[in-house]
Chain A
Amino acid sequence: MSTAAIDIRHAEKTYRGKVRALRGVQLRVEPGEVYGLLGPNGAGKSTLVKILMTMIRASRCEGTVLGKPVGHKATLARVGYLPEHHRFPDYLTGAQVCSFFGALSGITRAERKKRIGELLELVGMTRWAGTKIKKYSKGMRQRIGLAQALVNDPDLVLLDEPTDGVDPVGRRDIRGIVQRIRDEGKTVFVNSHLLSELEMVCDRVAIMVHGQVRQQGTLDELTRDQRVYEIETDRESLSDETREVILNAVAPGVTAVFDGPTIRLNDEAATPAQPVLDAVRARGLEIRRCGAKRPSLEDLFMSAVGDDDSPGAVTGREPKRPTPQPQSHES
C-alpha cells in the first residue's frame, strides 16, 4: 500500500470559548487523486485545511501529510496551497507574487524564472504578468493564486474554493488545470461549496458536517445503495389497484417506491424493471420516461446534511440527527 498523500486520524480542534470545530476527523487521500471536501458553512473544512497547512494547531491530530507528521514545516516545500479569500500584496505584479511565494518555498531564481513563465501561460495570465495585483479582477487574482500554488511543482495541491468569483469560462479553465495536475501524477485536495464543480473533477469526496466526516469515498461507492430505476407515468398519482398490480410484478428482492407519477425501483438494472414496465402498460398507462438514475453529489450532500445546515461548529452545539426519509411502499 503506497503512502497516502494525506492520512489523518482523530483530528480534533476546540477553540477558546469551547467551540468544537473538529470532532475526530478521519480522512485518507491517496496519491494522484483529486479529492473533494464538501460541507456547509461552519462544518470545519477550513479548520481542517489550516491544520494541514500549519496555520492552526490541532487540539489532537494523528497522521501524516506526504508521509511526514502533520505540522512538519519542511514538507510544505512539496505542498501548494490556494487559500480562500486570499489577499496578495497590492504592490506586487502577478509575476512578482509567484516569484515571492516561490522563493518562500525555497525555489531558486533560475527555477522560478522557468516555472513562472509556464504557469502564467497555464493559467492564462501571461499578458498581465507585469500588471500590479491591485488592478486585477477577482478572477485574475484567483488565476494568479493558482499559479503561486503550483510554483514549487508540488506533489500535493490544496485548493480552497478555487472557482470562487471566477466566471464560467474561468471555472472550466480551472477544472482543466486541476485535471492536468492530476494527469501529472499529483494529488489535488479541493475544498468547495460548488458541488457540481467537485462532481466533475473529483475522484473521491468526503462530506463534512459539524466537524465530522459523515461520508467518504468515490461517487460510485457513495451512491451504490441509492441508485434506482425510475419509471415516470402520465398520471398524477397511481391508484391503489394499479399499485397492487405493479407490486405483484416486482421481482423478489427488489423494492418499489411510489412517488406521485413515478415508480422507483431500488435496482438500477433494466432486467428487473421489465415486468414492472409490462404491468404499467397492461394497466393502460403511458410511460413518459424510464431509466437508471443515480443521485447527484448534491443529493448525497443534502442527504448527509439533511435540513441541518446551521453552523453547528460556530455555536458548538451537538449536531441534529438527519431528517427521516419519506415513507416507502415496499413489496
Chain B
Amino acid sequence: MVLTQTAAIFVDAYRELNARKLFWISVILSGLLAGVFAGIRIDETGVAIFGIDLSFIPATSETIRPDLLYKSLFLDLGVQYWLGFVATILALISTAGIFPDLITFGAIETVLSKPVGRLRLFATKYLAGLLFVTLQVGAFTVAAFLIVGIRGGAWEPRLFVAIPLVVLFFSYLFCVCVLIGLITRSTVASLLLTLLLWAALFIINFTDGILVTFNANFAIQEERTIARIERMERATVVQMRREAAARGESLPENYEPTLEELRAANGFLQPVDAELEDVRSRQESLKPWLDGVFAAKTLLPKTAETIDALKRLALSEDDLDRLANLNPESEAAQIRADQLRDDAAIEAAMRGEDTNENDNLFETGEAQRAGLAAMRSRSLIWVIGTSLLFELVILSIAAWIFCRRDF
C-alpha cells in the first residue's frame, strides 16, 4: 500500500512537471548547452567550436589536456552558471507552486481524505519536488560524462557527484520555498522570498570572501613584516659587532641584545615595528566581522560553497592545480613575486629595507589565492553538514505546520 501511494505521488509529480512548459524549456536548454560542449574541439593548433577557430583563446592541447578542458567547461559553465544559477531559477519557478497548490482550498481535502499520513505526504511531495532538479542534473551530467569520455578520452565517473551535490544545493532553497509556501499559501510570495534569501546568501558569501581575502592579505603582510624585522635585527647585530670591533671591543659569542638595544642601534626598526603593529591592529579589527560572518554562514545554507565543493570532489588535486595555473597572468605574477622575494630579500636585510614590502598582494593575486585557499580549507563536513542542519530545521518547521494545520 505504501509503495502504491508513494509511486502515485511521484507519478503525479512527474505529470505535473511534464505539464509545465518550463520543465521542457530547461531540458531543451540543457541539451543545447551539452551540444555546445560537444562541439568544442581542442588540439595542438588551438580551440575551435563547430569548426570555427577561436584564436583569441590562448590554449592548445599542449597547455591543457582535452579531458580537463571538458571537465572544466562542465564544472565552471555547466554546473556553476547553468545548473547552479539559470536552471535553479527555472526549477524554483516550476516547483514553488507545489505546496501552495497542494494546500489550496478544494485540493487538499481530497488528498487528506485518503489513508496517507500527513508527514509521509509532506515528505513524499517534498522529494517529488526535488525530482525536477534530479532529472535535469541527471540528464546533463550523463551528457557531460559522455562528452568528456568521447571527446576528451577520459571516462570520469566522479562527474556524477554533480547529481547529489546540485540536488543538495537546490534543496537548501527549496525547503525555504516550501516553508514560505505553507505559511503564505502563495506561490509568488514563496518564490520571491526564496530568491531574496538566495540573494542574501550570495551577499553574505561575497562579504565572507572579501573578509577572508583581506584577512589572508593581512596574514601574509604580518608574516613578511616579521621576517623583515628578523632580518633587520640580524643585520643590526652584525652591525653592532662591527662597530664594537671598530672600537676595539669584542662582543661575546652568545651576545643577544635586547629589543630596546636593537631599536637604539637601528632607527629603521621602529617604523617597521609600527607597520607590524598596524597590520596586527587591522587584522584584529577585522576579526569580529570575520567571526560574525562565519557564524552567520554556519547557521545558513552554503549554496556557493556546496557548488564549489563539486570541484573538490570531482577533480583530483593535480587537476585542480593544473586548472589554477591555467591563468598565464597569475602564473607570471607568481613568478615575479617569487623572484622579488628571493633577490630583494637579501638586499633588504642588508639595508634594513625590503623591496617586497610595497608589493600589492591584490595586484599580484597572492591575496586572492590565499583567500581562496582559506575558503577551500573549510571542511566539507562544515559546508554540507551545517547546511543540511539548516535544511532539517526548516523542513521540521514546515512539516510541523503541515501536520498540525486545520484545512
Partner-B contacts on A (CB < 8 A)? 15, 50, 53-57, 73-77, 79, 81, 83, 85-92, 96, 99-101, 103-109, 145, 148
B343 sits at the interface (CB 8 A): no
> Which single residue of chain B is at the shortest CB-CB distance from A86?
B106
Q: Is the CB of B117 within 8 A of A91?
A: no
Q: Is the CB of A104 within 8 A of B114?
A: yes
A101-B110, A104-B114, A148-B110 given; A89·B1 CB < 8 A = no
A77-B115, A103-B7 given; A50·B1 CB < 8 A = no
11 CB < 8 A contacts A-B: A53-B112, A55-B113, A56-B407, A77-B115, A81-B109, A86-B106, A91-B18, A100-B8, A104-B9, A106-B1, A106-B5
Name the contact of B116 in the complex, choosing from A15, A56, A57, A73 (C-beta under 8 A).
A73
A83-B106, A103-B7 given; A53·B15 CB < 8 A = no
Q: Is the CB of A83 within 8 A of B15?
A: no
The interface residues of chain B lying within 8 Å CB-to-CB of A76 are: 113-115
C-alpha gap A109/B4 in the complex (Å):
8
A103-B7, A103-B8 given; A89·B16 CB < 8 A = yes
B56 sits at the interface (CB 8 A): no
Q: Is the CB of A86 within 8 A of B406?
A: no
Q: How far is the CB of B276 from chain A (nearest CB, A)?
A: 63
Q: Is the CB of B8 within 8 A of A53?
A: no
> Which single residue of chain B is at the shortest CB-CB distance from A73?
B115
B325 sits at the interface (CB 8 A): no
Name the contact of B113 in the complex, choosing from A81, A87, A88, A108 (C-beta under 8 A).
A81
Q: Is the CB of A89 within 8 A of B12?
A: yes
Q: Is the CB of A104 within 8 A of B116?
A: yes
The interface residues of chain B lying within 8 Å CB-to-CB of A106 are: 1, 4-5, 115
B111 sits at the interface (CB 8 A): yes
Q: How far is the CB of B211 from chain A (nearest CB, A)?
A: 45
Q: Is the CB of B109 within 8 A of A104?
A: no
A76-B115, A81-B110, A107-B4 given; A57·B12 CB < 8 A = no
The interface residues of chain A lying within 8 Å CB-to-CB of B108 are: 55
Q: How far is the CB of A211 from chain B (nearest CB, A)?
A: 15
Q: Which of B1-40 contact A (CB under 8 A)?
A: 1, 4-5, 7-9, 11-12, 15-16, 18-19
Q: Is the CB of B407 within 8 A of A86?
A: no
B105 sits at the interface (CB 8 A): yes
Q: Which of B354-407 contact A (CB under 8 A)?
A: 404, 406-407
B316 sits at the interface (CB 8 A): no
C-alpha gap A167/B290 in the complex (Å):
70
The interface residues of chain A lying within 8 Å CB-to-CB of B4 are: 103, 106-109
A15-B406, A86-B109, A92-B15 given; A105·B104 CB < 8 A = no
C-alpha gap A43/B268 in the complex (Å):
92
What per-residue 1/0 map shows which CB atoms of B123-151 lie under 8 Å from chain A? 00000000000000000000000000000
Name the contact of A54 in the complex, choosing from B9, B107, B112, B404 (C-beta under 8 A).
B112
C-alpha gap A73/B112 in the complex (Å):
9
Name the contact of A75 in the complex, choosing from B18, B106, B115, B117 (C-beta under 8 A).
B115
Q: How far is the CB of A99 from chain B (nearest CB, A)?
A: 8
Q: How far is the CB of B111 from chain A (nearest CB, A)?
A: 7
Q: Is the CB of A103 within 8 A of B115?
A: no
C-alpha gap A106/B116 in the complex (Å):
9
C-alpha gap A35/B106 in the complex (Å):
23
The interface residues of chain A lying within 8 Å CB-to-CB of B104 are: 87
The interface residues of chain B lying within 8 Å CB-to-CB of A109 are: 4
C-alpha gap A249/B326 in the complex (Å):
119
Q: How far is the CB of B7 from chain A (nearest CB, A)?
A: 7
Name the contact of A105 in the complex, choosing from B107, B115, B406 (C-beta under 8 A).
B115
Q: Is the CB of A103 within 8 A of B5?
A: yes
What per-residue 1/0 map shows which CB atoms of B86-124 lie under 8 Å from chain A? 000000000000000000111111111111110000000
Q: How far is the CB of A277 from chain B (nearest CB, A)?
A: 55
C-alpha gap A73/B114 in the complex (Å):
8
Q: Is the CB of B112 within 8 A of A105?
A: no
Q: Is the CB of A79 within 8 A of B15?
A: no
C-alpha gap A50/B107 in the complex (Å):
13
The interface residues of chain A lying within 8 Å CB-to-CB of B110 are: 81, 83, 86, 88, 101, 145, 148
The interface residues of chain B lying within 8 Å CB-to-CB of A50 are: 109, 406-407
C-alpha gap A75/B18 in the complex (Å):
33
Q: How far is the CB of A238 from chain B (nearest CB, A)?
A: 55
Q: Which of B56-79 contact A (CB under 8 A)?
A: none
6 new A-B contacts, CB < 8 A, other than A73-B117, A104-B5, are A15-B406, A53-B113, A74-B115, A89-B15, A89-B107, A91-B15
> Which single residue of chain B is at the shortest CB-CB distance from A103?
B8
> Which single residue of chain A is at the shortest CB-CB distance from B4?
A103
Q: How far is the CB of B313 from chain A (nearest CB, A)?
A: 37
> Which single residue of chain A is at the shortest CB-CB distance from B2?
A106
Q: How far is the CB of B279 from chain A (nearest CB, A)?
A: 59
C-alpha gap A315/B18 in the complex (Å):
44
Q: How far is the CB of B182 from chain A (nearest CB, A)?
A: 15
For A73, A74, A85, A99, the residue with the greatest tally of chain B CB atoms inside 10 Å of its CB is A73
Q: Is the CB of B406 within 8 A of A57?
A: yes
The interface residues of chain B lying within 8 Å CB-to-CB of A88 are: 107, 110
C-alpha gap A80/B358 in the complex (Å):
81
> Which single residue of chain A is at the shortest CB-CB distance from B20?
A91
> Which single residue of chain A is at the shortest CB-CB distance from B109?
A83
C-alpha gap A100/B111 in the complex (Å):
10
Q: Is the CB of A96 within 8 A of B15?
A: yes
C-alpha gap A50/B110 in the complex (Å):
11
The interface residues of chain B lying within 8 Å CB-to-CB of A15 are: 406
A83-B109, A85-B106, A101-B110 given; A91·B115 CB < 8 A = no
The 6 closest A-B pairs by CB, nearest first: A103-B8, A91-B19, A87-B106, A106-B1, A83-B109, A104-B114
The interface residues of chain B lying within 8 Å CB-to-CB of A54 are: 112-113
